[in-house]
């Protein structure tokens, strides 16, 4: 590798300093910076020469970067040595880093908070103030991690557009997105935290033993899709099937569905806090529902009153998948509302 330019040196040194502030070893961060700006893969000797660090330190750092998933081994024709290259897509790179930090830091913290809350309910020495602070903290982590889990699935293009919008959101369209109805919330409120926790644990155990249904062919999965939703055209059902399945190791197909989302977490934002958030939505809002859906219509159950400028549209011959069941009509309605 050619000698590092002043600009390259400046960037690598800063990346190393920034890494230490994030709790990452300086050399690990510097090697990542070097590989990120390198136009081609580098071997360990080239990294040693460029950064002037010990070979053993380089080897250890490369293993850690591979563990994070942002550096991988590659091979160069005519050279038997391992070469290393960094992930180049900046958005995907930070997505991977956030995933790893969530797994290493946030998830264990949330698990401890949940344990503390359960123990606090049983421990008479724990005062109510402490317990409430723990609940508030757990609620914060649950809400933000749930939000991140949704954003994590967005494509880089969609995420970029969303971030660039900033405070420019002018209209909001939600497809059956207000969550459980007041009736469901009231029923849930009759149960103690201990009861909700036990139900959640029982549900998790049941789900852990639930195996995804396997279909011999995509055609079998397609037929199942048609059986479950009579509103879909054959073309729609086939498209959703092709996009909605993964092929298993034995050649069969299963739906891309996480069974664990069926279990309602024992903690959540209070219903009062959710209603308060709705009152803060100032832009025009369109709430779309299917008349055959299990979801409750907010105009009928009273939730609409918490919005400043919202209206509800219900589609006939549509269930929870209203945007698929009445695709053309939904697109026309959404386009008219947005423009």
pLDDT digits (tens, 9 = 90+) for 236-263: 999 999 999 999 999 999 998 877 777 7
Q: Where are the alpha helices (DSSP H) in 213-326?
A: 218-228, 234-244, 271-279, 298-301, 322-325
Q: What angle do CA 21, 12, 18 make, to 5 degrees?
A: 10
The per-residue pLDDT for range 182-213, each reduced to its tens digit, is 998 888 888 888 898 899 889 888 888 888 89
Query: 53 by DSSP, 3-state: which?
Result: coil
- Residues 91 and 99: their CA atoms lie apart, in Å, by 12
Residue 190, CA distances (Å) to 184, 186, 201, 207 in order: 10, 7, 18, 24
Percent of the chain whose predicted confidence (pLDDT) is above 90: 57
What tokens were used for 192? Answer: 């103690």
The per-residue pLDDT for range 24-65, each reduced to its tens digit, is 999 999 999 999 999 999 999 999 999 999 999 999 999 999
- Of 68, 60, 81, the closest CA to residue 36 belongs to 68
The pLDDT of residue 1: 65
Spatial strand order of the sheet with 79-86 comes to: 42-43, 79-86, 71-76
Beta bridge partners of 73: 84
What tokens were used for 265? Answer: 């977490």
Domain segments of the chain: what residues? Answer: 6-88, 89-154, 197-262
What tokens were used for 298? Answer: 């907010």
Query: 254 by DSSP, 3-state: which?
Result: strand
Query: 208 by DSSP, 3-state: which?
Result: helix
- Of 40, 32, 25, the closest CA to residue 11 belongs to 32
* Contacts made by residues 248-251, CB under 8 angstroms, sequence distance 24+: 248/214, 250/214
CATH fold of 6-88 reads: Arc Repressor Mutant, subunit A (1.10.10)
Please provide the average confidence, as pLDDT, over all residues in the chain.
90
- Residues 223 and 268: their CA atoms lie apart, in Å, by 37
DSSP assignments along 156-199, one per residue: HHHHHHHHHHTT----EEEES-S-S-HHHHHHHHTS-HHHHHHH
- Of 249, 311, 305, the closest CA to residue 279 belongs to 305
Q: How confident is the model at residue 282 (pLDDT cuts 50, 70, 90)?
A: confident
Q: How confident is the model at residue 339 (pLDDT cuts 50, 70, 90)?
A: confident
Beta bridge partners of 312: 287
């Amino acid at each position: 590798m050619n000698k590092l330019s002043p600009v390259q040196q400046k960037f690598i040194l800063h990346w190393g300093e920034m890494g230490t502030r994030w709790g990452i070893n300086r050399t690990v961060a510097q090697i990542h910076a070097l590989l990120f700006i390198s136009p081609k893969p580098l071997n360990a000797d080239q990294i040693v020469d460029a950064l002037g660090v010990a070979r053993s330190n380089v080897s250890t750092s490369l293993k850690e970067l591979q563990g994070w998933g942002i550096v991988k081994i590659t091979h160069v024709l005519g050279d038997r040595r391992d070469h290393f290259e960094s992930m180049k897509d900046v958005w995907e790179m930070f997505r991977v880093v956030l995933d790893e930090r969530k797994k290493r830091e946030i998830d264990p913290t949330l698990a401890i908070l949940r344990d503390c809350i359960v123990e606090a309910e049983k421990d008479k020495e724990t005062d109510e103030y402490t317990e409430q602070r723990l609940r508030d903290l757990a609620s914060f982590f649950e809400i933000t991690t749930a939000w991140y889990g949704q954003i994590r699935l967005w494509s880089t293009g969609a995420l970029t557009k969303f971030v660039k919008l900033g405070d420019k959101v002018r209209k909001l369209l939600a497809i059956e997105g207000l969550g459980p109805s007041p009736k469901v919330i009231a029923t849930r409120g009759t149960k103690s935290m201990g009861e909700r926790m036990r139900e959640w644990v029982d549900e998790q155990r049941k789900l852990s033993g639930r195996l995804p249904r396997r279909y011999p062919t995509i055609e079998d999965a397609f037929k199942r899709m048609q059986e479950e939703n009579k509103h879909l055209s054959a073309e729609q059902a086939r498209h959703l099937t092709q996009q909605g399945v993964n092929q298993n190791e034995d050649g069969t197909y299963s739906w891309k569905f996480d069974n664990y989302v069926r279990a309602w977490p024992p903690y959540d934002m209070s219903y009062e806090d959710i209603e308060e958030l709705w009152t803060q939505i100032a832009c025009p809002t369109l709430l779309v529902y299917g008349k055959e859906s299990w979801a409750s219509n907010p105009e009928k159950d009273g939730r609409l009153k918490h919005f400043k400028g919202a209206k509800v549209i219900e589609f006939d011959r549509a269930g929870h998948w209203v945007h698929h069941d009445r695709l053309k009509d939904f697109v026309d309605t959404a386009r008219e509302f947005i423009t």
